[in-house]
Structure formats: structure tokens, C-alpha cells
Chain A
Amino acid sequence: MDTTSSKNTAALPFSFTGRTGEYFRIWIVNVMLTIATLGVYSAWAKVRNKRYFYGNTSVDGAAFDYNADPAAILKGRLIAVAVLIVYSVTVQFVPATEPGFWILFLIGLPWLVVRALAFNARNSSWRNIRFEFSSNYREAIKVFIGMPILVVLSLGLAYPYFVCRQKAFVVNNSGYGTTEFDFNAEPGAFYSIYLKAFGLLIVISLLYLFVIPAIIPTAGATDTAPPAPPSPEMLMLALLPLLVIMTLYMIFMTYIQTATTNLVFNSSRLHDHTMISTLHTGRMFWIYVSNLVSIVCFLGLLIPWAKIRVARYRAENLVLNTRSDLDEFVAGEQDRVKATGEEIAEIFDVDLGL
């Protein structure tokens, strides 16, 4: 650990030190205890899981830490499950109430998002300084209720703008101790991502339309022959379009996700420190596809391996560029004051992965 490296200008790479064998054991014990306790242990499992990934991710020689209290998470999960049961039972038996639930959910969304981000931020720390998230409800309502309406009215054209505002909301309200994060990406950069993604989609669709029928002449023919038991080849042919569409969709989503992640990191700054994320779509796509295939083939036993791979790839492609000392950050005061309403609020933070 070299503290002089954090003086003045430096490029500090993130690193991930989690190991598959080690994590596999943690994961399977989590699963077993969760099942054996009929889900009660899941709150402890979540904390152990997150602590493992945070604790193995480090920058400038110091690891991240996750400090959430499992008992608070359990309380939250119980209420979340109760809400879920009330919702699904009511909707099953009185389908007419479904729109009512959706309206309720939409109204509650800004609050849920803010509480989730705040819970996660306040329970994450680095060098014993917690991250913060300021509860800006007015802005949250604009971004999570106002913007979706704009997206609908513009027939989807405003969607990249919505994503931009959403990311800006998250970054601008986040802080490390008393130091705030700043987001400086322009909506144009998001439009560029979505335009490229749709370009990619069109090119691949054209390839699909012209190349597939050329390879398989029978694909377009109608089936007029008397019903015979389908051969495995026939089945493969019938499933091929489905497979192609799924692949297409995954490439499309991976590109958008990767490009957006890079853009968000590269446009965020903390005081005068910046970050550089260099994720590559092709590499990411390969990781996702091979993860998916291995998880399915090995009945879920390779989930730990898959998670470690993703975390390692992400950390290895993230660099913190510092312009000044990293020792000067000051802790915020909020975490020492416990608001009364906070307990109920923390509860819903739990099941909102963002």
C-alpha cells in the first residue's frame, strides 16, 4: 500500500480479487441456509454476498465495504413479500384492480428509487467514509413521472433524453462523504448510443432476412405434408429463427448497456477526480452468452463462476484518474442522525436493484 501514489496526478486502476472456488463455497452455503430457513436467511445471504464483492473490489490499495444490517433487510423483505402477495392475489381474483395497482406503483416509484439509492449509498463505504445520496424528491418526481410521460407523448423519441436525465439524477445526487459527484454528459451522447444500436439492429436484421433463407431453402415453405413425427432437424429449423432473434436482442441490449455504462463513468467526476471505463461490447457479449449457456448446462451450479467473471471484467476496465490527494475527503453527518421514518423507508430499498 503506497500512499504517495495518491498524491497529485495518478491513474489508479480498480482491481477485483474474488476467486471462483472461494465464492462458490460462500454461494452454496448461502443457498442452503436460505432454503433450510425458508428464506429467512436470505437477508444475511445478501449482505455476505455483497460484502464479498465489495471487499474484493479495491482502488488505490483500499477495498470497498458494505455495512448494511441484515435484520433491517429482513424486515424490509418481509414487508416487500407481503405487498407482493397482496398484489398478486388481488389481481388474480379481481383483475379490474390491476390498473389501480399500477397507478399506485407509478406514484410511489420516485420515492422507492430515492430510498433504494440512499440505502445502498449509505451502506457502502471506502476508507471508512460512507457514500451519500441526497433525497431530492422534487427532482425524482420530474425524472420518474414527468419524463416517462414525455417519452410516451414523443412516441419514444425522448427515450435517450430520459435515460440521460435519469443517470444525471443518480450521479448528481450521489456523494462520497461531503463531496458531491457531478455528471456532465450531454443528451446528444445518449442519442448517439441509441442511433448506433438501431443501426446495428437494422444491419443484422437485413443479414438475417437475406442470408438465412439462402442457407436454408425450406425455411419459408409451408407444411402441407401429412403429419409425420418431426425429425430433430425439423425442430432445429423451427427453433432457428427464435435463436437468431434472441441473439440479436442480446447484442442490441449488451451494446446499449456497455456503451451507457462507459458513458456514465466517463462523464462523472468527484471533485477533480475522473473515471475511465473501457468495457468492450463484443467481450461483454461473449461473457454474457457463455455465462448463460454454462449456467443452463450445469443447472445453475456455475452461477458463482459467472458472477465472478462479470465483476472481474468490469473492475479491470475501470480506472480512477486523480488530480489531487485522496486523503482529504470528509465524512458526511447524515449517517449519525437516524430519522424516525427511515426504518419504514429502508424496507423498500431492498428489492430494487438499480
Chain B
Amino acid sequence: MSLTGTYYDGSTSRAEQVELSISGDRQVHILGGSVDHRIHLDDLMISDRIGNIPRALELPEGARCVINDNDALDRLLGQLDYTGSSTSWIHALESRWRYVVLAIVITVVFSWGMFVRGIPALADQAARALPTSIDHVLGQGTLKILDRGLLDESELDSATRLRIQQRFNTMTKPLEDGNHYHLEFRAGKKLGANALALPSGIIIVTDELVKLAKTDDEVIAVLAHEIGHLIHRHSVRMVMQDSAVALLVTTITGDAFSTSTLVAALPVVLLHSSYSQKFETEADRYSWNYLVDNNIPTGVFADILERISDDGETSTVEKYLSTHPGTQERIRMFRMGSDPGFR
């Protein structure tokens, strides 16, 4: 039983055409040109089969015999009950379509589960393990950056500020979650009517939002939503989730190659927005509970949401994005006021 191969001694690039034969007692004979090698099969390293690429039989002194006919080599080794390397089973997976279909299913199910459940759960656990002092460092720097460019000093009259501040204090006093709650009034400029929660407990509310609100209850509903973000530590969790997604996507799509790098960014962006929608729902739930517990009609949150989304000079695209069904759905839920399976 013999095969043809090409022999390279490893010290020069010269090729020698050889015949390779293996006897029943596993003695390999490589013969051709100036080559006449006898070696035991177990002293050879045979590279794993990948697709149909030429396979190398590595000899101990660094020489190689390259075989192009993979099927013939496999038949020969099969007859000798040759057990390949510890990774030779991978080729068996790769060569049968039923395993390939299974691989597709496993991949889709696993990555779906990982992105939808696994990563958020891991980030949640990690956030619980992290001390809240990390949130403080994260939040302090951010307020300074915002004050430098995006926000101006508030121009609200002190009576309004005092009223809202007092209600904010009543809201946050019973909370003992490690955050130091603190309300900041700012002119929103380009941010318009908005409220932001910074980790460590800083909540910023813009003059525009306070003016847009018809009642203080509407402002309180928004503040409760922001407190919800802080209680659930969304900033820290988001940082961790985004990094985990980026890491996983890079691992899956593999080595950089011009078009897939662009493609790899897409799931990161899509998942980020999906995660942030989930966090919005969590914050909404907190606001909902607060309103119900304090006998404030939940419709106030719907009113202010509606006015915020109608407000502001946004471009066509931005408008399209901000009026996505999510906002409409949120408004509808708070307006119905009858707890539509939301709690």
C-alpha cells in the first residue's frame, strides 16, 4: 500500500518526489530521489485534516513529507487503526452536514441566550459585587464634563427650585442603597427638556423640562424614573454589558478582515440600544410603583413623555428614531393607569 508525496528535508527548499508505504507492523518507508527513510508510524506527527489542504507528516529531524491525497491517507491510516492527535475529531464535525446544522442551531441559540440573558445577568451580578464607591468616581467626572460644554447655570426662580427640591428630598430620604442623592438644576441648552442620572446619585433636571411640565407631579414622575436608573445601577451595568458584547462579537467573528470589522460593529450598536430599552423599562417600572404608592395618577408620566417627544427641533431622522414604537407604548401604558401586566 503506497502513496505519493513530496519530501522537504527542512534545511533547503528542494522538493523530492517520494513514494510512501506503510507495512502492517506500522513501519513507514519513504523512498524516492535521494530519500530513503524508514521510521515507525508512532514517531511521525501527522497534521490534522482541515478541508482538503495538503497534510504534512513531520519527521523527528524537522523534515516533512507532504501528502496531497487526503482520502487515500485517511484510508491507509484507518486500516492501521491509527488514532490521530487529540484534535482530529474536529474534522469529523466539519465534514458532516448534520453536525454543521447542529452547529448553526447551537450557535444561534447560545449567542441569543448569551446576549439576551447571559450578559445582562452577569453584569448584574458583577455590579452587585462592585462597591458603590466606583459609581462615585464615575459620576463626579461626568458632571464636570457636562458643565463644561453641554449645560449652563439654571435660571429657574428659587421658589420653584425649593418646591421640587423638597419633594425630591422626601422621595430619596428613605432610600438606603449607597447612593448620595443630590438634585442639580441646569439650563439644558441643546439637550432641551431632559433629565439625567449620574452614578453616585446626582440627578440633573433641565429648566426646559420644569417649564414644559404642567404640574410638579410630572417632574416628580421623571425624577422617579431617574432614581430608578440609579437604584438599578444602570450606568455600571451598561459599561460592563457593552464591553462584554464587544469582546464576544470579536471572538466569534474572528480575525480582523476589512469588511467584517464594519459588520462586527453593527451587533454592538444594536444590542446597546436593546439593552438601554430594557433599562428604560426597569426605570419606568420604578417610577410607576412610586406614583401608585403615593397616589399620584400614572398618567402624569405619559403627559410629560408626550410633550418631550413633541418638543425640540429634531431632524427627520432623529424624529423617526425617537418616535419608535417604544415611546408610544410607554405613553400608552402609563395613560391606561390600570397596570397592564407591567409590574
- Chain A residues near B255: list those with CB within 8 A: 46, 49-50, 353
- Chain A residues near B251: list those with CB within 8 A: 34, 39, 42
- Chain A residues near B248: list those with CB within 8 A: 39
Question: Does B295 reach chain A (CB closer than 8 Å)?
Answer: no
Whole-angstrom CA separation of A49 from B310 in the bound complex: 52
Stretch at the interface among A148-156, A223-231, A340-348: A223-231
Stretch at the interface among B282-290, B298-306, B316-324, B330-338: B316-324
Across the interface, B253 reaches (CB within 8 A) one of A29, A63, A81, A303, namely A303
Question: Does B326 reach chain A (CB closer than 8 Å)?
Answer: no
- Chain B residues near A235: list those with CB within 8 A: 316-317, 320
- Chain B residues near A62: list those with CB within 8 A: 6, 15, 66
- Chain A residues near B141: list those with CB within 8 A: 94-96
- Chain A interface residue count: which class? 35 or more
Per the 8 Å Cβ criterion, residues 281-328 of A in contact with B are 288, 291-292, 295-296, 300-301, 303, 306-307, 310, 326-328
Cβ B13 vs Cβ A326 within 8 A: yes
Cβ B53 vs Cβ A52 within 8 A: yes
**How far in angstroms is the closest Cβ of chain A from B8?**
3
Instruction: Classify the interface of chain B: helix, strand, loop or mixed.
Output: helix
Question: Does A142 reach chain B (CB closer than 8 Å)?
Answer: no
Stretch at the interface among A17-25, A110-118, A199-207: A17-25
Question: Does A88 reach chain B (CB closer than 8 Å)?
Answer: yes
Whole-angstrom CA separation of A23 from B51 in the bound complex: 7
Whole-angstrom CA separation of A340 from B107 in the bound complex: 39
Do A327 and B51 contact each other (CB < 8 Å), given the known contacts A36-B110, A95-B141, A235-B317?
A: no
Cβ B110 vs Cβ A35 within 8 A: yes
- Chain B residues near A81: list those with CB within 8 A: 247
Do A93 and B138 contact each other (CB < 8 Å), given the known contacts A238-B315, A288-B259, A295-B259?
A: yes
**How far in angstroms is the closest Cβ of chain A from B143?**
12
- Closest chain B residue, CB of each to CB of A293: B259
**How far in angstroms is the closest Cβ of chain A from B334?**
21
Question: Does A157 reach chain B (CB closer than 8 Å)?
Answer: no
The interface bits of chain A over 209-250 (1 if a CB of B lies within 8 angstroms of the residue's CB, else 0) are: 000000000000001000101100011011100000000000
Whole-angstrom CA separation of A36 from B50 in the bound complex: 20
Cβ A1 vs Cβ B260 within 8 A: no
Question: Does A30 reach chain B (CB closer than 8 Å)?
Answer: yes
Do A3 and B15 contact each other (CB < 8 Å), given the known contacts A62-B6, A128-B9?
A: yes
Question: Does A56 reach chain B (CB closer than 8 Å)?
Answer: yes
Whole-angstrom CA separation of A85 from B284 in the bound complex: 32
**How far in angstroms is the closest Cβ of chain A from B38?**
20
Do A327 and B50 contact each other (CB < 8 Å), given the known contacts A93-B134, A95-B141, A292-B263?
A: no
Cβ B256 vs Cβ A292 within 8 A: no
Stretch at the interface among B96-104, B147-155, B174-182, B188-196: B96-104
Question: Does A26 reach chain B (CB closer than 8 Å)?
Answer: yes
Cβ A300 vs Cβ B263 within 8 A: yes
**How far in angstroms is the closest Cβ of chain B from A88?**
6
**How far in angstroms is the closest Cβ of chain B from A19?**
8
- Chain B residues near A24: list those with CB within 8 A: 100
Per the 8 Å Cβ criterion, residues 16-69 of B in contact with A are 17, 50-54, 56, 62-64, 66
Question: Does A45 reach chain B (CB closer than 8 Å)?
Answer: yes
**How far in angstroms is the closest Cβ of chain B from A251?**
14
- Chain B residues near A310: list those with CB within 8 A: 257-258
- Chain B residues near A23: list those with CB within 8 A: 51
- Chain A residues near B64: list those with CB within 8 A: 128
Do A291 and B259 contact each other (CB < 8 Å), given the known contacts A55-B53, A129-B12, A327-B12?
A: yes
Cβ A227 vs Cβ B12 within 8 A: no
Whole-angstrom CA separation of A229 from B68 in the bound complex: 63
Cβ B266 vs Cβ A238 within 8 A: no
- Chain B residues near A223: list those with CB within 8 A: 315-316
Question: Does A65 reach chain B (CB closer than 8 Å)?
Answer: yes
The interface bits of chain A over 42-73 (1 if a CB of B lies within 8 angstroms of the residue's CB, else 0) are: 10111011111011100000110100000000
Whole-angstrom CA separation of A237 from B243 in the bound complex: 34
Cβ B257 vs Cβ A307 within 8 A: yes
- Closest chain A residue, CB of each to CB of B54: A63
Across the interface, A55 reaches (CB within 8 A) one of B13, B15, B50, B263, namely B50
**How far in angstroms is the closest Cβ of chain A from B103?**
4
Question: Does A101 reach chain B (CB closer than 8 Å)?
Answer: no
- Chain B residues near A291: list those with CB within 8 A: 259
Question: Does A12 reach chain B (CB closer than 8 Å)?
Answer: no
Whole-angstrom CA separation of A30 from B100 in the bound complex: 10
Give 3 nearest A-B pairs by CB, closest first.
Answer: A55-B53, A128-B8, A329-B13
A sample of 9 cross-chain residue pairs with beta-carbon separation below 8 angstroms, ordered by A number, consists of A32-B110, A36-B110, A63-B66, A88-B243, A93-B137, A288-B259, A295-B259, A326-B13, A328-B12
18 more contacts with CB within 8 A, not counting A42-B254, A227-B319, are A3-B17, A25-B94, A25-B100, A29-B93, A32-B106, A33-B90, A34-B252, A35-B252, A55-B51, A63-B53, A126-B13, A128-B10, A129-B12, A230-B320, A292-B263, A303-B260, A306-B260, A353-B255
